[in-house]
Amino acid sequence: MGEDRTLLIIWHSRTGASEQMAKAAARHENARLIRASNVTTHDLLDAAGYVFVCPENLASISGEMKEMFDTHYYAVLGKIEGRPYASIIAAGSDGEGAQRQLDRIATGWRLKRVADPKVVNFGAQKAEEIWAEKTVPPQIERECEELGLSISEGISLGVF
């Protein structure tokens, strides 16, 4: 287990949606919110659990999120097994490709999924819709907040 009971919420966003959802998931005292490009191996090792939040780009996780995994994958391999994780994907259509890719990486790390994947479909299909700034509906923000809080409480109670 990580040195503390912190839930690390790692995010990347291009149009604001993933950032808004990550911030919502981090609205509790045991959360630490950090952009994917700023994550260190130490951050991953110290955390007790993770929420990965990113957009789906071309049926994959975003490049910045992938780079975070590429950079730290082997440094933490075998050292974070069994820790809980969840994911939030901002998608233009189905989000399945990004979710599948993220789950394969988490499987390699032997993380334990503790919440159903959350894929938020913004329905953006045209270039101008895809690149437009997004606003997350209040209900989705509440769901992201509840997700972060429930995982954090599970960590604190020793459930995960």
**pTM of the full predicted structure?**
0.95
Q: Is the pLDDT of residue 4 over 80?
A: no
Report which of 44, 22, 28, 40 is spatially closest to residue 140, judged by C-alpha positions: 22
Average pLDDT of 24-31?
Answer: 95
Q: How many CB atoms lie within 10 A of CB 4?
A: 12
pLDDT in tens, 109-159: 999 999 999 999 998 888 888 888 899 999 999 999 999 999 999 999 999
> Are the beta carbons of 130 and 92 closer than 8 angstroms?
yes
For the segment 41-96, what is each residue's pLDDT rounded down to a tens digit? 999 999 999 999 999 998 999 999 999 999 999 999 999 999 999 999 999 888 99
Counting residues of the chain whose pLDDT is more than 70, the rounded percentage is 98
